[in-house]
Every structure is written in structure tokens, then in C-alpha cells.
Amino acid sequence: MSKVVNICIVDDDEIYQFTTLQTLKKLNLEKNIMAFYDGEEACNFLLKHLGDINKLPDVIFLDINMPIMDGFQFMAEYVKIKPKVGKKIIIFMVSSSVDPADIERAKDISDISDYIIKPIKRGELHAIFEKLQREGKI
């Protein structure tokens, strides 16, 4: 695959960010990885690069519980700016929460592709990207 896939990790947990970054680096995929510590940082990045499909993420791994702007607040803002984004962004809600209310709330947001329980294992990430490639989404 020759297209560079822009992957974004939005999570305030430094250890999780580091391990996910290392796992993503090992994937056989041409990629650019960016990381943000809260939803506001990620939202500001999206707003700054609206319409620039080469800089905007193709895939976002979004945590729920973060300071400043949590994952659900980020999604509320994303829905507002989505018409100006210029490309389809695949968003996975990632959390250590197994609370059925969080899972159901995420499922009710049509822009969230799936809810993933932390930690994401290498095989799981590999399967996600294989499926996205097979379906022509990245």
C-alpha cells in the first residue's frame, strides 16, 4: 500500500500512548502517527487543518476519560466540524471502562466505528488495520 495512513492517538495516559505508539510502529503499514493528551488538543489540530486531507487523521483512537475535554465532548465537537473536514475519519473509542453505559453511549454515536477495551493488543491492532485495508477504508 503506497498511501500514508495518518493515525491519531488521543489519550492522557503516557504509558498507554507509548505502548500503542510502539505497537503501531511494528505494523506493516506506511503511516504517520500523532498523539494528543486530551480531546481539546486533538480538536484544535483538526480545526487548524480543516480540509487538508494530507494532515488530518484517517484513524483516531480516542480515550473516554481525559482532562479538559473527554472523548464524548470531543465527539460532540467533531460532529459540528465534520462537514468541513473533507474526508472520512474512522474513530475508535478506546477505554478501560467496561461500564455498559459508556459502551452503549459510544454505540449511539454513529461516527464511532467501534468500542475497544484497553489495552489494545498488537494482534488486535493488526486485525483492525487489515480489515480497514480489505474494505478499502484506508
Domain regions of the chain by residue span:
5-134
Query: Rounded mean pLDDT of the chain?
Result: 91
Joined together, the cell numbers standing for residue 121 give 493488543
Joined together, the cell numbers standing for residue 28 give 506493516
Q: Exposure string (b/e) for 44-58, b if CB count within 10 Å is 16 or more?
A: ebbeeeeeeeeebbb
CATH says 5-134 is which class? Answer: alpha beta
- For residues 48-75, average pLDDT: 93
Which tens digits make up the pLDDT trace of 70-111? Answer: 999 999 999 999 999 889 999 999 988 888 888 899 999 999
Cut 0.75: pTM above it: yes
Residue 1 confidence (pLDDT) above 80: no
The CA distance from 72 to 63, in Å, is 9
Specify the pLDDT at position 28: 82
Q: Which of 111, 32, 27 is nearest to 71 (CA)?
A: 111
Specify the pLDDT at position 25: 87
pLDDT tier at 58, thresholds 50, 70, 90? very high
Residue 2 confidence (pLDDT) above 70: no
